[in-house]
Structure formats: C-alpha cells, structure tokens
Structure 1
Amino acid sequence: MKGSTLAMNKNKVVLASFCILASAVIFSACKDKQSTGLEYARNMYDPIAYNPDQPNKNFKNGQTAQTPPAHTAPVGFDKYDYPNTKEGYEAAGAALVNPVPATEKNLISGKHYFTVFCAPCHGEKGDGQGHLVKIEKVSGIPSYHGDATSSRGGNMKDLSAGKIYHTIMYGLNNMGSHASQLSPEERWKVVMYVQQLQKIQ
C-alpha cells in the first residue's frame, strides 16, 4: 500500500512538473507577438552578402549595385548586334548562319521548343493554323511553306536562318519577342526546325 502511494505521488509530481513546464513554454511564446521564437544556427539563413539595394561602405558612392565596367558582358551573355529595324533584319538575314550543329538531337529539341512556343499560332506543321487561329480567330499568321509571303517581303519558305532568328529575337507584327523565353541556342534550334518546315510542299 505504501509503495503504491509513493508511485502515485511520483506520478503526480511528474505530471505537475510537465504542466508547469508546458505552461512556461506557452506563456513565453505568447509574450511577444513580434518574436520569431528561439533561433537556432542563425548564420545558416542570414545572408553574408549585401543585397543589391543595400548601402555599402566598401564603395565610394555607398551603393552595393555598381555599374559594370565598360566593354564587359555578363557570363553566358551573347551580344546581338542587329537592331530591331528593317535594315537590321536584312543584315541579320545576310550575315547570320546557324552555329548549332544540324543533328537529329538538335532537330528534335527544336521541334519541342517550336511546339511549346510557336505552334499555338503557327500550327504543328507550320501552316499558320494553330489552335489560337482556329479557336481565338487570330488572323495574319503566315505559313512557313507554300506561297505565303512575309510582311517584310519575299516568301516565307525562302526566309534565311538569320531572318528567322531576328524575328524570334524581336518579334514582328502580332508576334512578341521570344528572347526572354528562349536562350540563343534554343532559338537557333527553333530556326533549324522552322527550316525543315519550310521544305514541306
């Protein structure tokens, strides 16, 4: 009997201690509503580097974001020297050659990008009959083959790689620029696939 009473008293002490500890944790958590609570390994999520818009005492002008030095380009950046003009279009058409090797893998990749970005308007076969043309009644989408003519002159089936690339880069008429959606290499793969579609009779 005495042993069972002692065990009951021990259980009550443990339960009371747990309740007091739990209450202390709850009250300390609710004390400051702005507090994020206990922080563990703060250096794991505090950035060491400065934010671009943060003041920086390491530079004379006190800014973190600095203007890049003259005649430099970001890593992986390809400069495009042809302006968005008729003259730039013609110059690109005459000078640019597709640097991407004409392999089956690149052609399949070009077909994929064409299907995602171009086919909704130009159609899967490049016939200008994409689902936006059929459903939304978007007009003026040229076909890449047959006797369709470009709004800049000449037949669509005769467009050079440079002219197609320039159009993807800047867009034309209702077509917007795809420079932000496709990297230069991806654009050239699309050009490669479009030139396959130009051969369809």
Structure 2
Amino acid sequence: MKSLYKIVAVVGLSIVATSCFNKNKPNYQFFPNMYEAVPYETYSEHEVFKGGKEGLLPVEGTIKRGFVPYEIPNTPEGYTLAKETLKSPLDSLALDTEKGKALFNIYCAICHGEKGDGKGTLVKREKFLGVPNYKDREITEGSIYHVITYGLNAMGSHANQLSQEERWQVADYVLKLKSEL
C-alpha cells in the first residue's frame, strides 16, 4: 500500500511540474539580460562616455597602487644625477641573483651577451654594432636602472617589460657580471 502512495505521489508531482511548461515561451528566466541582451552598435556613442570620449581618464594626480614615480628626467644631466645618487631600494634579502640572471638572459643577453661582454647573438650577426662591454664602462646601479628605464642610444626603454623591482634585480646582476669580467 505504501508503494502505491509513493507511485501516485511521483506521478502527481511529475504532472504538476510538466503541466505548466510552454515550449514557445519559457516560464522563468534567470539572468534575463543574458537571454535578451541590449544591442549596442560598435564604436557608437554611449551615455556612459559623455562628450564623445571613448573612455574615462583617471582622476588627475592619482597613481597606480604600489607604483613609485621615477622623478629623474631622461636627459644627460638626469643620467649623471642617477649615476651619482640613485641607490637600490631593495635590501639584501629582496635581491635575488637567480631572478636577475633570468631577466637579464631574457631581455638583455640578446645584445649584451650572457657574460656582459657586448657579444650577444644580434651583435654576432651584425644586426647591432657598438654594444659596450660592461668591463669598459663606469657604471653604477643608478646608471643601469636609468638606462633600463629610459634606454640609451640604440637601446630602447624596458620600463614597460620590467617592473621597478625587476629593473633593480637586473641592475644588481649587471654589477655582478661587471665584477666577474
């Protein structure tokens, strides 16, 4: 008898659940904006961006969290100032020679060579000439950081590829290479 009640209850529930279903129009829509999205014309103006602007600019004077502005200008005087005064903010625990070596091999060794002798792959193939040997130059960690940030002569800036900490890691590794030459 109990099994008969169970069968009747299951059949009754299935009839109730399926009787309200309409194949032409679903009953409930969860997240209806996903089913019926508002169409926007590509590259058209929108009320969010007033005055024909394509995006909103950050508030004047704001900087990205964790970013420290580099105030020394990209001039010969700025290079001299960086060479004489700029010191690494990383302490001995934050400096990682292996990370500096890996970054140097990725971004610098192609021109400067893995030993810092100025005989990288592009120099050997004569794509770039006159890449200096670190041994022949008077460089400091400040001058290295400045050159990585802004570039010098044929070398372009690497500020977009390397974070500030990574640039200091590479500068430390370059000084290590210079001491080994």
Does the alignment reach a TM-score above 0.5?
yes
Q: Indicate conservation of the 8 Å contact 1:102/1:192, yes or no.
A: no
Q: Structure 1 46/128 Cα, relative in aligned 2: closer, same or farther at 3 Å? A: farther
Q: Determine the C-alpha separation between the residues in 2 that align with 1:46 and 1:74.
A: 37
Structure 1's unaligned 5+ residue stretches are: 1-39, 48-52, 149-155
In 2, Cα distance between equivalents of 1:167 and 1:190: 11
Deviations 1:24-83 (A, max 9, x none): xxxxxxxxxxxxxxxx96746999xxxxx7745467647562333232112343311111
Identity of aligned residues (%): 46
- For residues 42 and 113 of structure 1, the distance between their equivalents in structure 2, rounded to whole angstroms, comes to 48
- Could you tell me which residue of structure 1 aligns to residue 150 of structure 2? 170
The number of equivalent residue pairs is 149
Q: CA deviation at 1:108?
A: 0.7
Structure 2 stretches of 5 or more lacking a match?
1-29, 38-42
Q: Do the aligned residues in 2 keep the contact of 1:168 with 1:187 (CA within 8 Å)?
A: yes
For residue 198 of structure 1, the aligned residue among 172, 178, 181 is 178
Deviation by residue 1:142-185 (Cα, 9 ceiling, x = unmatched): 1111xx2xxxxxxx2x3111111010011111111111111111
Q: In structure 2, how many angstroms separate the alpha carbons of the residues matched to 1:44 and 1:177?
A: 44
Partner of 1:82: 72
Moved more, 98-107 or 111-120: 98-107
The one-letter code sitting in structure 2 at the alignment partner of 1:199 is S
Question: Which among 104, 108, 124 is matched to residue 114 of structure 1?
Answer: 104
TM-score, normalising length from structure 1? 0.63
**1:76/1:43 Cα in 2 relative to 1: closer, same or farther (>3 Å)?**
farther
Secondary structure in 2 matching 1:198: helix
- In structure 2, distance between residues paired with 1:61 and 1:137: 48
- Determine which of 123, 134, 137 is the counterpart of 2:113: 123
**Which stretch shows the higher mean deviation, 171-180 or 133-142?**
133-142
Paired residue for 1:31? Answer: none
Q: 2:96 aligns to what SS in structure 1?
A: helix
Distance of aligned partners of 1:128 and 1:42 in 2 relative to their CA distance in 1, 3 Å threshold: farther
